Amino acid sequence: GPFLAINCKALADGVVESELFGHEKGSFTGAIRDRAGCFERASGGTLFLDEVGEAGPDFQAKLLRVLEDGEVLRVGGSKPRKVDVRIVTATNRKLRSEVAAGRFRADLYFRLSVIPLRIAPLRDRREDILPLAHHFLAFHSTEAGRPLILSPEAEEALLAHRWPGNVRELENVIERAVVMSGQETLMPEAFAFDDDASDEDLIQVAGIARAAGIDSAVGANMAAEPATESNRTQPAESLEAGTLQESLDRAATTRIKAALASASGNRVDAAAALGVDRTTLYRLMKRLSL
């Protein structure tokens, strides 16, 4: 039968009844013709209620009534209409917590929770990342009229990212790369991940700087530092010149170059030697123009 998807959050309380159950012509201003609601249009098939945890009290009460009676009454109508619909709902909220807090009806929760399916976040099902990435790349590169492929390094960067935004974030990252990259083979630099906050960069650079012999967190004097292989290449005064961020950037540049040289240019090995993940190293290299 038909499949109909509705975003519960998008339905204002004032139009819930009309959207769910439909209305008769003339039942309110603007009702110029009869209109079937979601339940009638999906009858014999499936009605998918997305973001059901965002539904307001009015929506919840009306939904419960249909689930219990299997009937809908159009706004302005006088005769209930029987509907036979499979209901599938989704939410990113913990509905038991919402019930305990009084924001979600307990009776509706138990009506809906017949066959619960937990979809793990993308970071917990990493085997799905590359198949999804290739799917989105094929779709968006076809739309752009440009055949594009992922380099092995790009695939590693995608696998290393934590994907706090799940599949939507992955698609957005791929779409941006397709639009913004001028290359036919996407490299890690083509990806604009949403976690490149300046504070995090500062922490990561500081960590690399400490590995290079600068303990900026306690304000250590470089002149008193024992010389190491990584800081011997620059005079102490040059490392201390400018702002804290400039000093950290210079130290990070030196340390990253040394790690890349030791790893014969292999970024994965260099990241491991530096004690950072690969995406952090890619991002730092891009920011430091390495």
Residue ending a domain, among 61, 83, 112, is 112
- Transcribe 30-47 into DSSP letters: T--S-EE-HHHHTTTSEE
Work out how many domains the chain is built from and give that number.
3
Domain extent, residue 184, equals 122-190
Cβ atoms of 95 and 109 within 8 Å: the answer is: yes
Same structural domain, 62 and 131: no
pLDDT tens per residue, range 229-254: 444 444 444 555 667 667 777 888 88
pLDDT tens per residue, range 101-157: 999 999 999 999 999 998 899 999 999 999 999 999 999 999 888 889 999 999 999
Same structural domain, 11 and 108: yes
Q: Compute the distance between CA of residue 236 and CA of residue 212 in angstroms, rounded to an integer.
A: 12
Q: Compute the distance between CA of residue 187 and CA of residue 149 in angstroms, rounded to an integer.
A: 9
Note the pLDDT of residue 284. Answer: 81
Same structural domain, 98 and 16: yes
- Cβ-in-10-Å burial (0-12, 13-18, 19+) of 265 comes to exposed
Same structural domain, 184 and 206: no
Residue 117: inside a domain: no
User: 55: which residues sit within 8 A by CB, 6+ positions away?
Assistant: 8, 9, 11, 49, 63
Same structural domain, 11 and 91: yes
Tell me which amino acid residue 36 is. A
What's the number of CA atoms in the CB half-sphere (13 Å) around residue 94?
4
Residue 232: inside a domain: yes
Same structural domain, 22 and 53: yes
